[in-house]
Copies of this chain bind each other. A is one copy, B any other.
């Protein structure tokens, strides 16, 4: 039985009415109700609670308590880490902290993994990885004379999914210290097969490092169960923690004694305020802290993680799949005949929370969309990325955005 798609706006509105997560949109600041914001995967919206929390941190904590506020601030990187670990990352307490940027954390964990295996001289990774990961690895490999083994080119056009064991196995041998991939591809949204890649890497004696920027807060992640060794991810996308908010860093508990934080700073020091003569790392994940934690950003991460955890990652993933399915249905109805190609997997199980559509004039189309109040983002050379953030994006937004794109592309 073939069902014909109802492409009316009223159908989108009906989907929104039936959406159990719809009330969560009211927990966010919606400054311009007409704006069709399809870029929550670049910068998530502002939670109302965050506005209040930041005002309190600024006025009541910094402004009034001054230095005494550190009593309440000191353990925040670990406390938020525990919440994030246990609600969204499939990790245990004392495996995750919030600290620094994704790039600095990625650099630290890659360095630590390589330092722990000095006889292994190769890194396996993918040219599809987010640029900052590739650039960081290039720098490390050059400084240490290591080999980077790039995965064989995988299909870029309508990929079935992200890298799996078949993609990495040819590159694995006893020379490989580290396998590092993005959990969700920043362009196609293809999901890597985390558990199978971990197993393949471990069979070869290598460690794994996952970049979860495009999955954290929108896809259930099972770092522990999947056997992931190390992971990082940002908080300003689906965790809605604001521009440049601190990133997370995960080190599997069993590795915490074996690996060494390559940037030894005073917040990683045991008995920090004794200011003793030599570095002795704090036990557990706190030993991966470095400098003074950024309190404004951390407070925003705390609110963002709480809100996502409250909605529940299961319900979020369910709505996320419905949103991307709906977007692909409208794509098929309106855009596939207009010279566009779909750049994201059709299999929902292998697809993250955004949908990429491609046409040669994508750059110009993106600018035209922004001019008419629809904000996606452009990814060179020819991709328009539609980010559908389940707590704030409505089915009507998908309809409105694709309707305008269809009009502009005609």
Residues of A within 8 A of B (CB): 29, 31-32, 35, 37, 39, 42-43, 45-46, 50-51, 54-55, 58-59, 62-64, 66-70, 73, 100-104, 107, 115, 127, 130-132, 134-136, 138-139, 143, 234, 236, 242-247, 260-269, 273-279, 290-298, 300, 370, 375, 377, 379-380
Contact B101 A292, beta carbon cutoff 8 Å: yes
Give me 13 A-to-B residue pairs in the complex whose CB atoms sit less than 8 angstroms apart, sorted by A's number.
Answer: A67-B375, A104-B291, A107-B263, A127-B277, A131-B276, A132-B265, A132-B266, A132-B291, A134-B279, A139-B264, A139-B279, A243-B294, A294-B294
| A276 and chain B: residue at smallest CB distance | B131
| A61 and chain B: residue at smallest CB distance | B243
Contact A291 B51, beta carbon cutoff 8 Å: no
Contact A39 B66, beta carbon cutoff 8 Å: yes
Contact A247 B291, beta carbon cutoff 8 Å: yes
> Assuming the A-B contacts A127-B277, A242-B296, are A50 and B58 also in contact, with contact meaning beta carbons closer than 8 angstroms in the complex?
yes
> Assuming the A-B contacts A136-B265, A243-B70, A279-B139, are A63 and B31 also in contact, with contact meaning beta carbons closer than 8 angstroms in the complex?
yes
Contact B265 A101, beta carbon cutoff 8 Å: yes
| A277 and chain B: residue at smallest CB distance | B127
Q: Within the assembled complex, what's the spacing in Å between the Cα atoms of A379 and B273?
A: 8
Contact A66 B43, beta carbon cutoff 8 Å: yes
Q: Within the assembled complex, what's the spacing in Å between the Cα atoms of A298 and B245?
A: 11
Residues of B within 8 A of A143 (CB): 115, 262
Residue among A59, A66, A103 with the highest chain B CB neighbour number at 10 A: A66
Residue among A31, A62, A104, A268 with the highest chain B CB neighbour number at 10 A: A62
Contact A275 B67, beta carbon cutoff 8 Å: no
Tell which of B101, B275, B278 touches A291, judged by Cβ atoms closer than 8 Å: B101
Q: How far is the CB of A101 from chain B (nearest CB, A)?
A: 3
| A44 and chain B: residue at smallest CB distance | B66
Q: Within the assembled complex, what's the spacing in Å between the Cα atoms of A42 and B266?
A: 14
Residues of B within 8 A of A291 (CB): 100-104, 132, 244, 247
> Assuming the A-B contacts A104-B104, A244-B293, A262-B143, are A269 and B51 also in contact, with contact meaning beta carbons closer than 8 angstroms in the complex?
no
Tell which of B54, B279, B292 touches A296, judged by Cβ atoms closer than 8 Å: B54
Q: How far is the CB of A78 from chain B (nearest CB, A)?
A: 15
Residue among A43, A127, A143 with the highest chain B CB neighbour number at 10 A: A43
> Assuming the A-B contacts A70-B243, A244-B295, A296-B297, are A131 and B45 also in contact, with contact meaning beta carbons closer than 8 angstroms in the complex?
no
| A298 and chain B: residue at smallest CB distance | B244
| A30 and chain B: residue at smallest CB distance | B63
Residues of B within 8 A of A295 (CB): 242-244
Residues of B within 8 A of A276 (CB): 131
Q: How far is the CB of A287 from chain B (nearest CB, A)?
A: 12
| A290 and chain B: residue at smallest CB distance | B103
Residues of B within 8 A of A58 (CB): 46, 50-51, 54, 242
Tell which of B43, B260, B262 touches A67, judged by Cβ atoms closer than 8 Å: B43
Contact A300 B292, beta carbon cutoff 8 Å: no
Q: Within the assembled complex, what's the spacing in Å between the Cα atoms of A165 and B102?
A: 40
Q: Within the assembled complex, what's the spacing in Å between the Cα atoms of A104 and B103?
A: 12
Contact B242 A62, beta carbon cutoff 8 Å: yes
> Assuming the A-B contacts A67-B375, A138-B278, are A292 and B243 also in contact, with contact meaning beta carbons closer than 8 angstroms in the complex?
yes
Q: Within the assembled complex, what's the spacing in Å between the Cα atoms of A70 and B242?
A: 12
